[in-house]
Amino acid sequence: MAEEYELKMQKAIEATEREFSKIRTSVATPAILNNIRVDYYGTPTPIPQVAKVTVPEPRMLLVTPWEKTMVEPINRAIQMANIGVSPIMDGNGIRVAIPILTAERRAELVKIARKHAEEGKVAIRNIRRDANDAIKKNKELGEDESKKRQDQIQKVTDSYIAKVDEILKVKEADLLEV
């Protein structure tokens, strides 16, 4: 039973990491374009599904559409996404220069990262609550066994909250790096 809840906690960690990958740093990462959707024959489609996104330089993304007709729609979608980058059409692709972050913007991004980390911790605590409720409802368990399982769930919860803190620390260091 504990494995089931531990798996849910792992998924909460993965969701937090996905949210962190969307937060732009001064270093180019293809993940910042993952949530931008482009009109692909009437269907809003994420950029990575219609183009190859590479990092030729530390502060540059190169978006190469699989169809040449998609260059203009992808360029427009990146501009309209308002993520603080300016795409430049370059023949059969689009170059996206990642500007250096200001100190003010870095502080904002750290706040956003902390908010995502807190949401991850809340999700993990909710999973702990669900696990404890299931243990309390199980009438087959004795009081000692019930207490032992709740302690076990608490230890797992503490370890996953520590993991969230660790990935937050890494993301903050990444954001504050000049």
Please write the tens of the pLDDT for every residue from 65-106. 888 888 888 888 888 887 777 888 888 888 888 877 788 878
Cβ proximity of 73 and 36 under 8 Å:
no
Cβ proximity of 113 and 23 under 8 Å:
yes
* pLDDT averaged per 10 residues, the chain (length 178): 84 88 73 83 86 84 87 85 80 83 83 92 93 86 84 91 93 80
In the numeric block, the tokens 């660790």 are attached to 166
- Give the pLDDT of residue 178: 63
DSSP string computed for 106-144: HHHHHHHHHHHHHHHHHHHHHHHHHHHHHHHH-TTS-HH
- Give the pLDDT of residue 26: 67
